[in-house]
Amino acid sequence: MTHSIESPKPSASVIAGVIQRLSVSQLKRHKLCPRAWFFQKVMRLPEPTTGAQQVGTEGHAQLEHYLSTGEDVLGAFAQSGAHLLPAPGPDLLVEQPLDGAPPLTAGGIPFTGFIDVVNPRRLATDGVLRITDHKFTSNIASNAASAEQLADADTEPGLQMVGYGAWALGQTERFPGLRTLELEHIYYQTRGQRLAASVIASVTFEHIEREWRTKVEPQVEAMKEHAQAARADDVPANYGPACTKYGGCPFLGKCLTGENKTMSLRDKLLSKPSEFVPTTVAAVEREALELPAVLPPDAPQPAPVQMAPEVAEQPAPKRRGRPRKAPEPSPSESKSDLRVLFVDCVPTKHDGPRPESLTGYVDDMHHKVAQAGGVDDVRFAGSDSPLGFGKWRGALAMAARAELPPPGIYTALGVAQSELMQVIVEALEPSFDVVVRGIR
């Protein structure tokens, strides 16, 4: 497990298709979805910072300061787990880097990153080393990993903790007598009741070595291959839960332009246009000329609609006097390309097309998602369905954003009484030009 590789100089993690260095977070991203990792580390596309990430960053900083200095600066979330923490002291390794001497490596590639806490206090007596990672989550009961998962590199939490364990095995001089590793997640709940919980997997160093060799090393070899891909379409994507996990993949728009997707739930949702039929003649005409909802960034410009050649007319005789003024477009014509949504209210007067209920569109989107997921009603999808455990909401929102209703004026009534309508309205609001909400 010990390798003598010089620490890499500061550089991008992937240069010209060659991986310069790795991190445990990269392993997790690649495990969740290889194409998302390609977008992040090879194409280096920016990612937005979410509120949940900010909470986690602040909590980790508070815990690091407390365990390093003993000064109690813990906020409300971190304070809930103070009783699970070891007493602060200089013997704790807080924010331990992975790229020390020797660094953690896989496939000849060194790792960078930090372990939250390494506790060697039971090493001399019991041969036990505890490695702890702090996790801030909205709901411990539904999001916490099990002890079995922490020990299995085929799972996302286990991949991280096995990586930390592999680092410890390479530090033979630093941790003499090491026989057992305790891989621990401490969870801090950020919504509702202030709760904290500890999950610990006790494993042998032989187990860690086997997991690293049989599961992580092959994954790194796959990452090397994926890093050399000429385009994102050549890297496999895990369509399904990975697209909506952690608030949704930030590269969703780019990924939907791929050409080699398999028929997963996402493909079924986006493989053919909806059967939603506009009711006005103008809307039908717009739909006939409408471009596809998603086009690759390098797609050629569509050819103009071919019209029948017109018969040349003889010029009319010139008229004397002031030329006629060209007629101005009517307000209804100038607004014909707008999408307007009235939520729990209706316009009292209008000078354009008659407002249309959004109910038909909602029913159509629901039917499409339910059919793709193999259920009659997405709200009652079982645990064995890709739409189960509330995942239908993300799938329904995704389908709506990928296939907007035609331009026009729509009304959404009774939103509070319909989960389907709520999800659709929230998904469509950013794409509508005007949204008017009723006052209750």
Give mean pLDDT in consecutive 10-residue pieces for the chain, a chain of 440 residues.
Answer: 37 68 92 93 82 85 96 95 97 93 90 95 96 96 96 95 95 92 97 95 96 96 94 87 80 66 52 45 35 38 42 46 48 64 80 80 88 82 77 87 90 85 91 83
CA distance 293 to 298: 15
Distances (CA, A) of 337 to 179, 224, 226: 69, 47, 42
Which pair of structure tokens corresponds to residue 391? 């995942």
CB 88 within 8 A of CB 69: yes
CATH 3.40.50 fits 17-29+45-221, yes or no: no
Whether the model clears a pTM of 0.75, i.e. scores above it, the answer is no
Q: CB-hemisphere CA count at 13 Å for 224? A: 11
CB 272 within 8 A of CB 266: no
CA distance 398 to 143: 23
Which pair of structure tokens corresponds to residue 351? 């000078």
CB 231 within 8 A of CB 255: no
What residue spans define the domains of the chain? 17-29+45-221, 277-290+335-440
Q: Give me the pLDDT at residue 296, please.
A: 40
Which pair of structure tokens corresponds to residue 244? 């909506």
Q: Give me the pLDDT at residue 290, please.
A: 34
Kindly tell me the burial class for residue 320, based on how many C-beta atoms sit within 10 Å of its own C-beta (0-12, 13-18, 19 or more).
exposed
Which pair of structure tokens corresponds to residue 169? 């095995």
Q: Give me the pLDDT at residue 302, please.
A: 42
CB 22 within 8 A of CB 41: no
Q: Give me the pLDDT at residue 333, please.
A: 43
Tokens 């006097």, located at residue: 321
CA distance 384 to 153: 23
Distances (CA, A) of 134 to 88, 225, 413: 15, 32, 44
Query: Which has the closest alpha carbon to 143: 82, 79, 182, 197?
Result: 197
3-state secondary structure string across the chain = CCCCCCCCCCCCCEECCEECCEEHHHHHHHHHCHHHHHHHHHCCCCCCCCHHHHHHHHHHHHHHHHHHHCCCCCCHHHHCCHHHCCCCCCCCEEEEECCCCCCCEECCEEEECEEEEEECCCHHHHCEEEEEEEEEECCHHHHCCCHHHHCCCCCHHHHHHHHHHHHHHCCCCCCCCCCEEEEEEEEEECCCCCCEEEEEEEEEHHHHHHHHHHHHHHHHHHHHHHHCCCCHHHCCCCCCHHHHHHHCCCCHHHHCCCCCCCCCHHHHHHCCCCCCCCCCHHHHHHHHHCCCCCCCCCCCCCCCCCCCCCCCCCCCCCCCCCCCCCCCCCHHHHCCCCEEEEECCCCCCCCCCCCEECHHHHHHHHHHHHHHHCCCCHHHCCCCCCCCCCCHHHHHHHHHHHCCCCCEEEEECCHHHCHHHHHHHHHHHHHCCEEEECCC
